[in-house]
Structure 1
Amino acid sequence: MTAPMRQSPTAVDEVTITKEAKRILRRLCEKEAFLAIANDLERAIVMKETTDGPPARIAVVDRPIAEAFVLKDWICCTKPGRVATYHVTQAGRSALKRMISEEQAKKNGFAEAQAPFSAQHKVWGEKTITGVDEQKAQKVRCNLAESPLALLARRKDKNGQPFLSPDLVAAGERLREDFELAQMGPRVTQNWDRFLTGGERGGYNPNAGGGSYNARDRVAEALRDLGPGLGDVVLRCCCYLEGMETAEKRMGWSARSGKIVLRIALQRLRMHYDAQGESSKMIG
């Protein structure tokens, strides 16, 4: 065996495996995504191929969790070696869909029929988002296997260049990774909707239980740095995975203006990470 995964029982409990699976498998379901791990590392990295430059890191997971995924046949080794790569299997995709469906059922979510051909490669999820006027929370259905950033990154501007450069996409993915890590834990009390325009931005509690304290602090600091408007659009599109058209309607913006604001917000977000020297730092 040249693959570095150890095919042995893991002590990780099923609750933790399921919780991490919702985060990692949905990233592996994205186009051109794969998991990589080296023999001497205790953490695996989820990477994503980019059109220009090397693959971008979009998530990190502990090695025992990744080994549990292998034992459950949710991922399989496609390139063994000193640094082995793994891709999600059909069993992994099915498991993720089942987890999401069960989670929605517990929340009394709605069920919606899907077109058999357009839906077979999608991982549908549901986000509850408070409107700008904070009058009523609404549920938004989105394809978790395709983020708005990935769609915009494939578009070209008038000069034929990608609308979002790789460094801007990396900044958005960094925020999303922190956001997802912040949701981990037995209980999450942080209300990110407070950071939306009209919310109580001063209501953030750094001592809230559950999740990753460091990740929550990083997300909160980034949103505060961006401020109202820019913080709204990155929270909705990068973290909630809300589509551009939906975000424009919720924020009362004119059609096709949201992507321009999003690009400006990502430029500011990249500057925020650059100032802290965290552009390429591993999540901790």
Structure 2
Amino acid sequence: MLNDWPAWVPEDARRYIAHTEGGQGIRDLARECGCHASTISRQVRRIEARRDDPLIDAALSRLGAEARARREAGGGAGLGDVHGRQAAFEAEAIRILRRLCETGAVLAVADGVEKAVVARDSGAGTITRTAVVEMEMAQALALNEWISCANPGRVSRYRVTAAGRAALGRMLARAENRASSAAEPGFAEAQAAIPGQPGAATAQGGRTRRSRYGLGENPLVLLARRRDRDGKPFLSEELVAAGERLREDFELAQMGARVTQDWDRFLTAGVQGGLRAGQGGGRGAEAARERVARALTELGPGLSDVALRCCCYLEGLEEAERRMGWSARSAKIVLRIALQRLKRHYDGESDTDRMIG
């Protein structure tokens, strides 16, 4: 029973459910796991104490019900497809944890609501919703202790933990390795530090370089925290919202039948307007692709480069400057110009084209 769970379910939670729902004794579990009975007992008590958290209680209740259903069915199909393949689960976890790593971001969970939302306090009295999260995914994050809530209530607010940031780094590393393996089969690269974390070492031109910012940080949020010469934020809330709108459409466009989109054709090599007919799946994803294509075409070469790299790929400013051969400290100025034109483009669109969030 312990091995019939999705990979994201922690071992102590598996043992807790096997004991409380499966009826396995503490000593039986200890023999099966190769540890002392007191270890299992401590884990069971610890999980039971965590059930005061509404997300953890809901996760354990759901997993326990699935365990009972499987046992009553005679041990049929395993539960490994609760969240689909592990890679798909990690991709969604990366999306959410990245948002939660932004300054002032919380995951809000309300009683009786089917989905949770990630919201960010801009510090100027405005709240921006940056992501919508399925409740099962929110439960998984809490069960793994990647998020925590100090005071659960009618509306519980969860923040990313140190364990969540570390998990984000590991998942980013695995995702990067999978991408490298797909591009160059059999290729493996030793890494001096976890990619995506501040201070991670990367090789560039035979030299080792350390990044100042982590991949989990949004370049727009970083710039919005900076001040211009007159003391105002370098990026206003309206400009950040325009970039967030482009990114939301970009992420939505990846959800169609054709998951891998050829956005690189919008880079400086040549901006082309429109997408080929019949490219992609459902109407929602197809419409999002059309909106992204219109926005990037409106920006034109150069501006579409920096918008695509920084807003959609979440590429850091230093990396964008290096890839495009720009001088140091120039990307932030070009990005602000791109966001200003992007805002003007969105202001001219109809209300039916506005972002879903």
TM tier, smaller? 0.7 to 0.9
Aligned to 1:236, which of 304, 309, 330? 309
Q: Distance in 2 between matches of 1:240 and 1:163?
A: 21
Shift in alpha-carbon separation, 1:123–1:36, aligned structure 2, 3 A: farther
Aligned to 1:97, which of 169, 190, 193? 169
Number of the residue aligned with 1:130: none
The count of aligned residue pairs is: 267
In the alignment, does 2:235 pair up with 1:164?
yes
Q: Which has the higher contact order (CA 8 A, sep 6+)?
A: 1
For the 8 Å contact 1:182–1:215, the answer to whether it is kept is yes
TM-score normalised to structure 1 length: 0.77
Alignment of 1:64-143 (within 5 A): 64-106=136-178, 107-108=180-181, 110-114=189-193, 122=198, 143=214
Number of the residue aligned with 1:263: 336
Q: Which runs of 5+ in 1 are unaligned?
A: 127-140
Aligned to 1:204, which of 260, 268, 275? 275
Aligned to 1:13, which of 73, 80, 83? 83
Shift of 1:113: 1.6
Shift of 1:213: 3.4
For the 8 Å contact 2:270–2:301, the answer to whether it is kept is no
For the 8 Å contact 1:37–1:43, the answer to whether it is kept is yes
SS in 1 for 2:62: coil
Number of the residue aligned with 1:282: 356
SS in 2 for 1:86: strand
Shift in alpha-carbon separation, 1:20–1:246, aligned structure 2, 3 A: closer
Q: Which amino acid aligns with 1:39?
A: D
1:75-123 deviations in Å (ceiling 9; x for gaps): 22234233221112333333322222222233246443239xxx99649
Q: Distance in 1 between matches of 2:167 and 2:157?
A: 20
**Higher helix share goes to which structure?**
2
SS in 2 for 1:36: strand
For the 8 Å contact 2:196–2:216, the answer to whether it is kept is no
Shift of 1:231: 1.4
Shift in alpha-carbon separation, 1:207–1:52, aligned structure 2, 3 A: farther
Q: Distance in 2 between matches of 1:35 and 1:279?
A: 26
Q: Which amino acid aligns with 1:75?
A: I
Shift of 1:246: 3.5
Single out whichever of 144-153 and 162-171 deviates more from structure 2. Answer: 144-153
SS in 2 for 1:23: helix
For the 8 Å contact 2:192–2:200, the answer to whether it is kept is no
Q: Distance in 2 between matches of 1:251 and 1:214?
A: 29
SS in 1 for 2:344: helix
SS in 2 for 1:204: coil
Shift in alpha-carbon separation, 1:182–1:144, aligned structure 2, 3 A: farther
**Higher strand share goes to which structure?**
1
Alignment of 1:144-223 (within 5 A): 144-184=215-255, 188-199=259-270, 201-202=272-273, 204-205=275-276, 207-209=278-280, 212-223=285-296
Q: Which runs of 5+ in 2 are unaligned?
A: 1-50, 64-80, 182-187, 203-210
